[in-house]
Structure 1
């Protein structure tokens, strides 16, 4: 038995490993004539079963209960957490002969935290463009290909589950699930549904009309009237959408609407929310900044609000009463105004951004005070995806670290109907884990200082990033 040391030397680089190629695959090269036992349904990119790993003397972060489980043994098998229990004082630490012959890591020198969950991403808003309109209206096929970088970058930062709210599709989620495209577990809902002249309308107001408002990277689709809304919602659900996002107020990134505009009629929204419910979707969520828009959305059956920067105390109380989720996206408003992104927005967009930037900090406090379930959201575009963990820093200015950590673990698990499977390190959960040099419950902003504090990332028991001796990278991202 070899128990590996826990801490990398100062300045140690992340492990570079040779990618594992499934040795059982017969499709890399086959000499004619075709063997009679050739499996033509094989997915040759499929990875072998995960290695069983045991961590002893571990410090396990439990966000739900705001505590650290100290000196415990964590056993991982088949990509899941098999057990979590006190490390035995016996010489064999209570491990079986088979476990002792496998990978055993002495984890006393770091903290094991559940993988992070981001509930507001746009993987189709890819790098390579100068401003927001070019990003939104880029070529869709190009966006699909470049989204592989976005997904890998998110996983590299410790996000093991994300919810895309504008553009991603079922085939992309399946590619991630099969590890053809390494990335976070992907919940997707296709394009956001918007009225003509609404936040999701990226068409040129003076140019030729585009059918259904679908153009560019496919982040939005226009619906006008109940039949239109029904058809669009049913088509998205037929294509495998996990949820549907709509827009019920103006937005920063749109150029044809006012921020305070209330969008979509109650009847249009009800058509969508009813369809999502009847066809088995998780939730209908709405882009909305204003209190009027939030109340309008709730009355029509929406279950979640994105942004909510202008949320006041009475509306927050209504959200809590109705069990409505809130996913603020605060950091983006500062990131997008600073070099080199200051020209990313048009002048009219910068003006609207200023209206909601600081207000968001008050809104998230109102939500927490009222008892709203708040989730983590980044809403970044292009190369801004590299700043995905900055949201921890912004929220920590006004909220305690344990509360902010729940936003990215415990609470999203509830929103996504995945309680017990993600956002926790407990028996039966996916082995989605980030390894940290310090306790995020004491200072959640360490998650943003990754060169110093992030020691490794694991999703479904597969290590994708590591500076921990003995914890080798199985699926390199770069």
Structure 2
């Protein structure tokens, strides 16, 4: 892989410190030095006028939901087209500056290994495999008349597996073991209703504390964790009591529940970009107008939840939750968060904090000697103009583990 010296960039290292002009030296995929570059052999990259950040991390993606949603859920799209859409989305993530993503449901293990082998362009992927759902809960999109046991027959082994249904704790234990067998590196459970749901409301709770605890036990046996899809406080509290380590969305999170999360060390990953997309044009993602009614008010409540979590001291990551086609503007999530916090706080959430949540803080998330060289060079300074994060054209150069994977210079 050799030696690469990036010279002249203003470096925002992901820790929250202001950018400084410093040269970055990379050898064999890792950062070896911050400081004046040397005359040793290797590629020298002039980055004057550009801003360097760590490779961005999206902690809530759905690569397996890259096709129009309703046609995919009703099985009108071929496996070949679904695969093409998945891999196009993976490449678009790199082009938007995201070198690592956490897939929170929809892909099977073959997608992860295909990208890791370099057969298609894409970020480093951590995946839960299929989401774990209770019978008839969020994540089930079969027809009303279709027997539940037929649902898993719609999986495309090695490619696409949206969710698995459990009727009790024993069935859940079997399903999470199957998810791990198929390559999951963590688990995700749906413990409340959802916005894009067919059979529930946001106020519904799903799975009991005892059932969630079974998944936590199985995850702990493999030195990993459970995150939960949760919109309401009762569902969040059930998950925290059972030992979950992360909450996705958290739309109606209140101050007492946020304090409980902080006390137990449970992280939060808000998801604003998908809300904006569904409010703007549900048809763009392949959904009907009825979903707009379900999402009304979610943006405002999620904003209040973010403030409550910050006040309580919860570790807060960043996730886009984009679904359907056209997932190329993944950086919209940073722009939206920058409007609610500061651009620097959004960057830290998408780098250092997300790496901690994903269990990768010893590998990625900051620019420091010994870390993997996941780097993005931005045209301009997105900390002064966070709209730059939202346009992939502004990520003029992307480096993943020391390899240049995008170069628009």
Q: Same fold, TM exceeding 0.5? A: yes
The alignment's TM-score, normalised by the length of structure 2, stands at 0.93
Secondary structure class of the residue paired with 2:64: coil
Check 1:197–1:355 CA distance in 2 against 1; reply closer, same or farther (3 A cut). Answer: farther
Secondary structure class of the residue paired with 1:172: helix
Q: How far, CA to CA, are the matches of 1:158 and 1:62 in structure 2?
A: 15
CA RMSD between the two structures: 2.0
Gaps of 5+ in 2: none
Check 1:57–1:146 CA distance in 2 against 1; reply closer, same or farther (3 A cut). Answer: closer
State the partner residue of 2:49: 109
Work out whether residues 329 and 391 of structure 1, in 8 Å CA contact, stay in contact via their aligned partners in 2.
yes
State the partner residue of 1:247: 190
Work out whether residues 6 and 46 of structure 2, in 8 Å CA contact, stay in contact via their aligned partners in 1.
yes
Quick check: which has more Rg, 1 or 2? 1
Work out whether residues 285 and 323 of structure 2, in 8 Å CA contact, stay in contact via their aligned partners in 1.
no
The Cα offsets for residues 353-402 of structure 1, whole Å up to 9 and x where unpaired, read as 11413211111122122211111111111224123111122212211111
Q: How far, CA to CA, are the matches of 1:449 and 1:145 in structure 2?
A: 23
The Cα offsets for residues 215-236 of structure 1, whole Å up to 9 and x where unpaired, read as 3542111011111011111121
The Cα offsets for residues 244-275 of structure 1, whole Å up to 9 and x where unpaired, read as 10000000111111110000112211111100
Work out whether residues 201 and 213 of structure 1, in 8 Å CA contact, stay in contact via their aligned partners in 2.
no
Check 1:103–1:213 CA distance in 2 against 1; reply closer, same or farther (3 A cut). Answer: closer
1:200-219 mapped onto 2 (5 Å cutoff): 200-211=139-150, 213=152, 215=154, 217-219=160-162
The match for 1:81 among 8, 31, 43 is: 31
The alignment's TM-score, normalised by the length of structure 1, stands at 0.80
Q: How far, CA to CA, are the matches of 1:188 and 1:389 in structure 2?
A: 20
Q: How far, CA to CA, are the matches of 2:108 and 2:397 in structure 1?
A: 29
The match for 1:457 among 378, 398, 403 is: 398
Per the TM alignment, residue 350 of structure 1 is displaced from its structure 2 partner at its CA by 2.2
Per the TM alignment, residue 343 of structure 1 is displaced from its structure 2 partner at its CA by 8.1
Per the TM alignment, residue 305 of structure 1 is displaced from its structure 2 partner at its CA by 0.5
Check 1:212–1:82 CA distance in 2 against 1; reply closer, same or farther (3 A cut). Answer: same
Secondary structure class of the residue paired with 2:287: coil
Check 1:440–1:389 CA distance in 2 against 1; reply closer, same or farther (3 A cut). Answer: same
Corresponding position: 1:58 with 2:12? no
Secondary structure class of the residue paired with 2:238: helix
State the partner residue of 1:141: 79
Q: How far, CA to CA, are the matches of 2:54 and 2:103 in structure 1?
A: 20
1:309-320 mapped onto 2 (5 Å cutoff): 309-320=251-262
State the partner residue of 2:248: 306
State the partner residue of 1:225: 168
Work out whether residues 105 and 131 of structure 2, in 8 Å CA contact, stay in contact via their aligned partners in 1.
yes
Per the TM alignment, residue 212 of structure 1 is displaced from its structure 2 partner at its CA by 5.7
Secondary structure class of the residue paired with 1:465: strand
The Cα offsets for residues 418-456 of structure 1, whole Å up to 9 and x where unpaired, read as 1131111111211111101223333333211343x3221
Secondary structure class of the residue paired with 1:228: helix
Gaps of 5+ in 1: 1-49, 88-92, 469-478
Work out whether residues 230 and 248 of structure 2, in 8 Å CA contact, stay in contact via their aligned partners in 1.
yes
Secondary structure class of the residue paired with 1:457: strand
